[in-house]
A and B are shown apart, each in its own frame.
Chain A
């Protein structure tokens, strides 16, 4: 029922697969991009999207950003600690990738 409980569900193969991509440090980190692209297309926002683009400037509203945090938690089967829910960590696709790497204890981007 709760998003948090949902995000802890271990039996989600898609989430597992996406997580493994992050852990392996795949070059594109395509899965965060996918989450963001899906959100943008649902909102009929089109155009180029770079990893460093400011998502607010791209056109996501603050309510969208709450949805984005929840979507990232669901997609990657994580609960993001309160201290990590900051403007900087959700500013761009690259920032979210870096956050997920940190949460996984990875250092692929250093």
Chain B
């Protein structure tokens, strides 16, 4: 598999990340499309996560339960840090987390390590939210669910043992885009005042033609052909890819949005749209902290068991999250 040259790539591809890409390249090169059914994809992703996710993260209580979604009950998992990690006060700040997977696959289980490390490293709670999948439930089902989940967590803060005034939202990949949309929706509708948006390699622009989309279009975990297929699965026919609920980078006005921590990976097709969002937020007067993790690839944050450098990147991100939510 040929990999495109990396524009502005300064650091060589991380060796452990490269091994994973080689394994993928040796066996098809990307996440299968067309030949694989969405339920099969979900199962494959679940199994792979068990192989590459970080293990043995110290954590306090973990609670699996359900929240009442707009179209029926959906799962959630709440992570509470160990008492010794907690920030003293009984009421913890909390991160409402939306996993990635293009709105088609991925689940609470496949992002378990990421959520555990977020809780352990920040000392705050994490509520990982299940939302409806495409293609069974097409756009904007996931947008509706993630916003509804945020409102639900805020309303249930006391029962969840968290502080409603110190609520962050976050997500990775498609879930990162959804978290950004939650922030925009909350601002437009006078919803919860969110303390932070924490985005890992977010999908910010479904109509992007950035240098990173072009350079890493093939052979870097997330192929452009795969992205196109996923968009097709996710959206009903005739959906405008520039709709800000799909492409939050294209929202008209970003002023007044919550502070942001945006993490991208150097060798990720989505890198430049994440960076562009950080820049637009800053121009709109929003405090946006932007980190491009050198040498890493899309989804690194959920493969820390197989990519030691991802572990280091996650710790940095966790320390920043802790600092941001402690100050609020």
Interface residues of A (CB under 8 A from B): 1-4, 39, 42-43, 56, 59, 61-71, 82, 85-87, 89-90
Chain B residue at minimum C-beta to C-beta distance from A62: B28
Q: Which residues of chain A are near B305, meaning CB under 8 Å? A: 1-3
The A-contacting residues of B in range 8-55, CB under 8 angstroms, are 16, 18-20, 22-32, 36, 40-41, 43-45, 47-48, 50-52, 54-55
Asked if residues B27 and A87 are in contact (CB atoms below 8 Å), the reply is yes
Residue contact B26 to A89, C-beta cutoff 8 Å: yes
Given the complex, which residues of A lie within 8 Å of B306, measured CB to CB? Answer: 2-4, 70
Pick 20 A–B contacts, CB within 8 A, sort by A: A1-B55, A1-B56, A1-B308, A4-B306, A43-B40, A56-B28, A61-B44, A62-B28, A62-B32, A63-B31, A63-B44, A64-B44, A65-B26, A70-B23, A70-B52, A70-B306, A71-B51, A85-B23, A86-B26, A90-B27
Residues of A contacting B43 with CB < 8 Å?
A: 43
Q: Given the complex, which residues of A lie within 8 Å of B293, measured CB to CB?
A: none
Could you tell me if B40 and A67 are in contact, using CB atoms closer than 8 angstroms?
no
How far is the CB of A95 from the nearest CB of chain B, in Å?
Answer: 11
Chain B neighbourhood of A64, CB < 8 A: 44, 47-48
How many residues does chain B have at the interface if contact means C-beta atoms less than 8 Å apart?
34
Main secondary structure of the interface of A (DSSP, over half): helix
Determine if B24 and A66 form an interchain contact, defined as CB atoms under 8 angstroms apart: yes
Partner of A1, one of B27, B29, B31, B311: B311
Contact of A61 among B16, B18, B19, B32 (CB under 8 A): B32
User: How many Å lie between the Cα of A63 and that of B303 in the bound state?
Assistant: 13
Q: Residue B19 contacts which of A1, A43, A82 (CB distance < 8 angstroms)?
A: A82
SS of B interface (majority): helix
Tell me, rounded to whole Å, the shortest Cβ–Cβ distance linking B289 to chain A: 27
The 3 tightest CB contacts between A and B, nearest first, are A65-B27, A62-B28, A63-B44
A1 to B307, CA, bound (A): 9
With A63-B32, A67-B48 as known contacts, state yes or no: A2 contacts B308, CB within 8 Å. Answer: yes
Q: What is the bound-complex CA distance between A1 and B29, given in angstroms?
A: 25
A65 and B23 in contact, given A2-B308, A43-B43 (Cβ under 8 angstroms): yes
Is the Cβ of A66 less than 8 Å from the Cβ of B16?
no
Q: Which residues of B contact A66 (CB under 8 A)?
A: 20, 23-24, 27, 48, 51-52
Most chain A CB atoms below 10 A, which of B16, B43, B55, B307:
B43
Which residue in A39, A59, A69 is a CB contact (below 8 Å) of B26?
A69
Given A3-B52, A62-B29, 5 more A-B residue pairs with CB atoms under 8 Å apart are A1-B54, A43-B47, A61-B40, A65-B24, A87-B27
Residues in A neighbouring B16, C-beta threshold 8 A: 2, 4
Contacts of B308 in A (CB 8 A): 1-2
Q: How far is the CA of A72 from the CA of B208 in the complex (A)?
A: 38
Residues B28 and A65 in contact, CB atoms below 8 Å apart: yes
Chain A residues with CB under 8 A of B54: 1
- Contact status of A63 and B19, CB under 8 A, knowing A1-B305, A2-B306, A43-B43: no
Q: Which residues of B contact A71 (CB under 8 A)?
A: 51
